Structure formats: C-alpha cells, structure tokens
Structure 1
Amino acid sequence: MRSKVKTIVSSGLVAGTLDITAAILIYSVILHKTTAEKILRSIASGIFKKEAYTSGLEMTFLGLGLHFLIAFIFSWFYFKIFPYIPFFKINTFLSGITYGFFIWVVMNLIVLPIVFPVLPEKNLDFALLLSILIVIFCVGIPIAFITRKYYAKWY
C-alpha cells in the first residue's frame, strides 16, 4: 500500500465485507435467526428508526452503506492512532484482537445504547461470544494487518 487513502479504503472494504458476510452467513444461512435484508435494515434503523423496516428496498442499501461507513471510520481511526501506540507495532495479530474487542465494546456498549435506548439485556452466552469473535476476526485483525503493511516502511 503506497497511499494513506488506499490503505484506509482497502482496510474498510475488507473489514466491512468480511463482517457483513459473516453476519449474513451465520445469522441467516446457518442459524436461520433472520434474513440478510433484516440485518441490513436493522443497521439503517439506527438512523431511520421504524421507517427502515417499512420503506422500500432503498433502506436495505442504506443499511449496507451505513455499515461500510462505520467500517471506514474504524479503519481511519486505527490508521491515525497506529503510530502513537507502541503495542500495535510489536504484534499485529494481538493488536487486531485488541482493536476488534475495542470496536465491539464501542459499538455494543456505547453506540447501540445511545441509538437504541431499549436493548435486550446482554448475557455471557454463545451469541455474545460469537458476536465478539466476528468483530475480532472479521474487522479488527484485517484492519490491523492492512494498516501494518502501510506503516511497515516506517518502522
């Protein structure tokens, strides 16, 4: 990766694609808990509330766009903080795990409760652990490795 923008965009695209693919495969295809469309509409509902479920197909695409926007923001943030956190330069895999867990905490304990004041209680169970693992392996680790590749020429 030669450019900062290409690094951020590619890490956001990879993380966003892996994350949404894992969510759809696991929750729609394997566990049969929901559909891909409902997953994307639920993302759109963060902004459009109930309208996301009653409007047309555009809400599905808006949900997908919002999902990638969030992935790009987390990619950009990691890229910006990378030079200032020595641990990130030492072990990329552990950095990705740490950052993935950080993302899960931010999204599930800060963002979602603000956007949706009434959420189901979180219990330490398979579903919770699965959601954490998806974010770690599909978002945190790819962002860490792609960003590390850019900074490798500096460190």
Structure 2
Amino acid sequence: MKKKISIIIKAGLLAGTLDILSAFLHYYVATGKDPLFILKYITSAVLGPEAFSGGTEMYAAGLLLHYFVAFSFTVFFFWLYPQLKILQRNCLATAVFYGLFIWIIMNLIVVPLSRIGKFPANVSGMLINAAILIIAIGIPLSFIVSRYYRKNDPAAISRERNSQ
C-alpha cells in the first residue's frame, strides 16, 4: 500500500505539473500576458471575481486548488483502471479517453458549477485544452497506472477480468 500511495503522489505531481506548465505556456503564447494569471483564474472558481484583486495568496490558493484537482483525477484513475477492462487494452487510447473525460468533467460540470460560471466556448480553445489534458495528464497517467498494475498488482486486474 505504501508503494501505491507513493506512486499516486508522484503521478499526481507529474500530471499536475505538466498540466499547469502547459496551461501557462498556452496562455502566454495566446495572449502575451503573465501566465500566473491562470492561478488567479483557478482561484476565482471558489472566490469569484475577488480572486483577481488579491495578491500572492490568490496565486498560492490557485496552485493548491489545481493540484487538488490533479490529485483527485489521479486517485480516481488508479481506482478506475482495474475496474474497466477496456482501459487495459491500449495505453494511448486510454490516455485519449481519460484526457477527454477530464475535459468533459471540468468544462461541462465543474466550471459551470463554480463561480467562474462558464467556459470559453471557441472551438480552437476547446481543442487545445483537450489536447493539453490528453498529453499532460492522460498519457502520463495511462502509462504509470498500466505499469503499476502490471508490475505490482496483477491480481487486481485478474480479479476484475474473472468477475466480468
């Protein structure tokens, strides 16, 4: 169990870091503005417009919230992987599926229910954001989780296959 928790922590840190760095880069390239704005945008999901007038504490809150979400998706994927046989067939297909799943959950459920209210609805932005999630979160998690279960807990996958 200690090894699994260690892997989950490392995978969550990796996925969260790749995702936030991708978001920073995309925002900077698209706008030429300070990419740290992204952290205040994340904070605004909880605090609303007041987040944009805050200082360092808003950046820190955004970073913590971002990693909380990244870890939540990481833990969920570690749980889901042995449950769904289809995820075990192809790491790249699983990465695409999980990245799109995250995009759907975040943009069609979480963001609309947050104090942000709605997500920017232009097609190129949606495609870029989905690609970031596939590359930064889907691919690393798919390969890390697949390797973990093959190497450390093949019985979990066997039990699931036998029960279906």
| CA distance in 1 between partners of 2:51 and 2:42 (Å) | 9
- The SS at the match of 1:31 is helix
Pair 1:106 & 2:110 matched:
no
Which residue number corresponds to residue 27 of structure 1? Answer: 27
| AA of the residue aligned to 1:151 | Y
| CA distance in 1 between partners of 2:96 and 2:75 (Å) | 17
| CA distance in 1 between partners of 2:49 and 2:31 (Å) | 23
For normalisation by structure 2, the TM-score amounts to 0.86
Please state how far the C-alpha of 1:76 moved relative to its aligned partner: 0.1
| AA of the residue aligned to 1:12 | G
For normalisation by structure 1, the TM-score amounts to 0.91
- Range moving further from structure 2, 35-44 or 95-104: 35-44
| CA distance in 2 between partners of 1:80 and 1:34 (Å) | 38
Which structure is larger by alpha-carbon Rg, 1 or 2?
2
| AA of the residue aligned to 2:150 | A
- The SS at the match of 2:141 is helix
Please state how far the C-alpha of 1:92 moved relative to its aligned partner: 1.1
Pair 1:64 & 2:69 matched:
no
Query: Which one of the candidate residues 132, 135, 139 is aligned to 1:137?
Result: 135
Pair 1:14 & 2:7 matched:
no
Which residue number corresponds to residue 150 of structure 1? Answer: 148
Which fold has the larger relative contact order, with Cα–Cα distance below 8 Å and residues 6 or more apart in sequence? 1
> Percent of counterpart pairs with the same letter?
37
Please state how far the C-alpha of 1:86 moved relative to its aligned partner: 0.5
Aligned-pair Cα RMSD in Å: 1.8
Unaligned ranges ≥5, structure 2: 158-164
- The SS at the match of 2:82 is helix
Superposed CA deviations along residues 65-97 of structure 1, whole A, max 9, x for unmatched, are 110110000000000011111111111111111
| CA distance in 1 between partners of 2:55 and 2:115 (Å) | 22
- Range moving further from structure 2, 126-135 or 111-120: 111-120
Cα 1:134–1:68 shift into 2, 3 Å: same
| AA of the residue aligned to 2:144 | I
| CA distance in 2 between partners of 1:120 and 1:68 (Å) | 20
Count of matched residue pairs:
153
